[in-house]
Chain A
Amino acid sequence: MAINSGKFLRVNLSTGQTMTESVPHQVAIDFIGGRGYGIKYLYQELDANVDPLGEDNKLIILNGPLAGTSTQATSRWMVITKSPLTGSFARSVGGADFGAWLKFVGYEFIIIEGKADRPVYLHLSREGCQIHDAGDLWGKDTKETQKTLKDEHGGNTRMVCIGPAGEKLVRYAAIVSDRRTAGRCGTGAVMGSKNLKAIAATATRTLELFDETAYAQLSKQQATLIMENKGFQNHREWGTTRTQNITNNLGIYPVLNFRYGQQVGHEKITGEEYRRLRTGEFGCYSCPARCGKAHRVETGSYSGAYSEGPEYETIWAFTGSVDSTSIEATVAADELCDDLGLDTISAGACIGFAYELYEKGILTKADTDGLELKYGNHAAMVTLVKKIALREGIGDLLAEGTMRAAASIGKGSEVCAIHVKGLELPAYEPRGSKTQGFNYATASIGASHCFGYSGQDVFGAVVPRPSDRFAEEENADLVIYNQNGTAWKETGINCTFSAGWGWVDSLFGKLLTAARGIDQFSDNDYLWKVGERILNLERAFNVREGFGRKEDTLPQRMLTEPLHTREAPGEGQIVRNQDKFLDNYYWLRGWTKAGFPSPEKLKELGLDFVLNDMNVEQ
C-alpha cells in the first residue's frame, strides 16, 4: 500500500462543510499527482457548461508528491479550474512556500466548492480547517492581506490570497503567495467569485515518505547534479531577466501588439540594464536558484517602486506592448500587479490592445478617461494597470480580456485582440517561433508559453531534435513532445525551469517511487504515458465544453499579416499552413480531424470513462 498517496480536503463554502478524503490508490497510479489529480477531479466533478464565475465551478489547489521534502524545485503549487477568460480547462502555477505548507498540514490538494455568503478565508492546520470571516480583509491588497494573516496566525503560516482584482472578478486576476503568482487563466477571479479571500496554512515541517533512506540518497544525487549544471548556474545568476536579449535578436519579441518582432532601443532593456537596479534575490521553498530578482527604483517619477521581479514575461508585457523602454515603469507596473493580484501577461497584452485601438482612432480620449494612449507613454500604462484591477473607467472594459473587449467595441477591433481561446499571447512571436506558436494554438488552456515551451525554437535545444523555427506542420511532433513532457513533469509541479538542470529524466521517477511506493513511476516510459493521459483528459474536458478544431487557431494577425523584424531575421514571416499543421498534430495524437480524442486513443490511455462524453458529432 502506498504511503503519501494523497489525502485531500473538500470545502463547501455554501454549506460550510469540510471533509477530508483520500485519493484512491488506482488514481494515484494513473495520475501521480499535481496536474494529473487536478484534471482527474475537475473532469469527474464538474458538469459541462457551468458558469466559471458561478457557484457550480470548483477551484482545486494542489501541491506535488515531492512538495515539502528535501528535493529542490519540487514544492510549487498549482490551481486547476474552469477559466473565466476562456471557458476551457485552466491550470496556473505559483511559487514561494505554500505548496510545502499545504503538504505540512496534510493535504495533496483542496477542492473548493460553492460560494460563501460573505467574504471568508480558510485557516488550515493539522487539526483541520476553519472558515473565518474576512470582512476586514476584503479590499486589502495582497501585501496587507498576507501581513494581517501572518500576524494573526504566526510565523509558521504561509498562504495564497487574492487582491482587489480577484474580488472585482477581473477575468485575468491572479492568486498570489508571498510575491509569486499563479497568474494565468483568471484563477483569482474564480476565488473571488466564491467570496474566498485567502487560504492560510499553519504547520511545522512533517512528512511521510515510503522509503526515507532511498529518498535521502536520491535527494543528495539531485542536489549534486543541479549544483554542477551550467543551466542552473546561469539561472541562479540571471533568473529570466536576460531572455529579452535573445528574443529581440531572434526577432520574436512582440512589439506594438504583435506587429513587430524587435523593439527599437532594445539595448536599453537588456538583463544587464536590469541588473543595475537589482537589490536582492528571492526564491521558492527548497530551491537554491533564488531566481526572483528584486529591483528598486531610486530616482525619477517611479522613485520608490520596488518589485520582486519583473521576470521576462513581465518585462515584455510592460515594454513591448506599449513600445516603452522604461525599466523603471516595468518595476512599478509589476509591483502594482502583485499588490492588486493581476496576471502581468494578460494585463500588458490588454493595455497593448488598447494602445493599438487608440492609434487607429477606434478608442479616443473620450473612451480612455482622458488618458493619451500613445506608444511610449508608460505613465498611462501604469495608470491603466490600476484602473483594470479596480475596474475603473476604461479599466472595466479591459478587465474582460481582449476577446470580450473587442466583441464589445466592434469597429474592426477584433483583429487587434491577440489571444487563443481568450487567453492573451505571451512574449514569443508565433510567426518567428512556430513550434511555440502552434503550442499556443493547441494548448488546453489557450496561449501559454509554459504549456509546451519550445526550447528548440528559442534556445537551440537539441532534445529530442533541433527545430527549424520557421517550419510548420513538420514540427507537430515537437509540439506534442513539449506538451506531453511538460504534463508529466507537472505531476510533481516541478519548477519548469528545473527541467533544464539535468536531474529530471534520471531522478524524478525514482524520487516518486521512493516517496509513494509505486514502482511504475521509476519507468520514464510510464511517465510519458501519464503525460499523454493528462493531455487527452484535458482535451476531453474542452471537447465536452464545446471546443474543437475551430478554436485551435492562432490570432488572425499571425495568419494574414507579415511579421516585421527590423534588424533581426524573419522579416515577412507568416503562418501559412495552420490547417496542415493541425492535420498532422491530430493524426500524431490519435485524434479525429475535428480534434477529438478517438475512442481507440482513449481506451489505450485507460480513459474509457470519457467515451460517452465524446459522443458528439465529429
Chain B
Amino acid sequence: MTTKVSAAINIPQFFQHLVDGVKVTKTGGRTVGECLDELIERFPQLEAHLFSGDGKLHGYLDVFINGESAYPEELSKPVADGDELHIINIIVGG
C-alpha cells in the first residue's frame, strides 16, 4: 500500500482568473503528472491551458518543485510530502 502525499500547487497569477482567484491548492499526487491531473479534476477549464493535444505540457510552461525545474522528466518527476509546486511561463521577456 502506498501513502498519499500532500503537496501544494501554487496556481500562477496568469491562471488565477480562470479558477476564481484560487492561489494554492493541495494535491495528493505522487508525480507532477498526477498532481496536474488532480488540478484539472478540480478545475477542468485549466486542461487546455496546461496541455497540448498530444497530452504534453505546453512548450512554454514549466513546473518547478521547490524552486527547481522538473524538466525534462516533467510529468513523471516524483513529488514528495510537503513539496511546493509552481507552474511558470518560460517565455522570457520581450
Residues of A within 8 A of B (CB): 228-231, 233-235, 237-238, 240, 242-243, 246, 249-250, 311-313, 316, 427, 449-450, 453, 455, 457-463, 466, 469, 496-497, 499-500, 502, 568-569
Contact = CB atoms under 8 A, between A and B. Distances in A.
Contacts of A462: 64, 67, 86, 88
A237 B91 CA distance: 10
Interface in B63-81: 64, 67, 69, 71-72
B67 A463 contact: yes
A469 B13 contact: yes
A459 B92 contact: yes
A362 B61 CA distance: 45
A234 B93 CA distance: 12
Given A459-B88, A462-B88, 11 more contacts: A231-B62, A243-B94, A312-B94, A449-B94, A459-B12, A459-B90, A459-B92, A460-B87, A466-B10, A469-B13, A569-B16
Contact of A453 (B13, B90, B93): B93
B25 interface: no
B38 to A, nearest CB: 19
Nearest to A251: B17
What does DSSP make chain A's interface, helix, strand, loop or mixed? helix
B93 A240 contact: yes
A450 B14 contact: no
Given A250-B13, A466-B10, A237 B59 contact: yes
A594 to B, nearest CB: 32
A499 B90 CA distance: 11
B45 interface: no
A230 B91 contact: no
Interface of B: 10, 12-14, 16-17, 21, 59-60, 62, 64, 67, 69, 71-72, 86-94
Central interface residue in B13, B87, B88, B94, by most chain A CB within 10 Å: B94
B60 A500 contact: no
Nearest to B67: A462
Given A246-B89, A460-B12, A427 B94 contact: yes
B88 A460 contact: yes
Nearest to A502: B69
A316 B94 CA distance: 10
A496 B91 CA distance: 12
Nearest to A467: B13
A482 to B, nearest CB: 11
Contacts of A450: 93
A457 B13 contact: yes
A238 B58 CA distance: 13
Nearest to B11: A460
Given A231-B90, A311-B94, A453-B93, A242 B67 contact: no
Nearest to B16: A569
B13 A230 contact: no
Contacts of B67: 462-463
Contacts of A237: 59
A463 B92 CA distance: 14
A455 B92 contact: yes
Which of B10, B17, B92 has the largest number of chain A CB atoms within 10 A?
A: B92
B59 A246 contact: no
Nearest to A459: B89
Contacts of B64: 462
Given A568-B17, A569-B16, A460 B92 contact: no
B92 A497 contact: yes
B59 to A, nearest CB: 5
Contact of B94 (A249, A313, A457): A313
A502 B62 CA distance: 13
A235 B92 contact: yes
Contact of A460 (B14, B69, B93): B14
Contact of A233 (B12, B13, B59, B94): B59
Contacts of B16: 569
22 contacts: A228-B72, A230-B62, A230-B69, A230-B90, A231-B90, A234-B60, A234-B91, A240-B92, A242-B91, A243-B93, A243-B94, A246-B14, A250-B13, A250-B14, A427-B94, A453-B93, A459-B14, A459-B88, A460-B87, A461-B88, A462-B64, A462-B88
A246 B62 CA distance: 15
Contacts of A249: 14, 17
B49 to A, nearest CB: 9
B19 to A, nearest CB: 11
Contacts of A313: 94
A234 B52 CA distance: 14
A126 to B, nearest CB: 36
A449 B94 CA distance: 9
A152 B67 CA distance: 53
**B12, B14, B17, B88 interface centre (most CB from chain A within 10 Å):** B14
A450 B21 CA distance: 29
A242 B92 contact: no
CB-based closest 10 A-B pairs: A312-B94, A460-B12, A243-B94, A240-B94, A459-B89, A231-B90, A500-B92, A460-B88, A569-B17, A230-B71
Given A230-B69, A249-B14, A250-B13, A497 B93 contact: yes
Contacts of B94: 240, 243, 311-313, 316, 427, 449
A243 B71 CA distance: 21
Nearest to A311: B94
Contacts of B72: 228, 230
A263 to B, nearest CB: 15
Contacts of B87: 460
A415 to B, nearest CB: 26
Contacts of B71: 229-230
Contacts of A243: 91, 93-94
Nearest to A231: B90
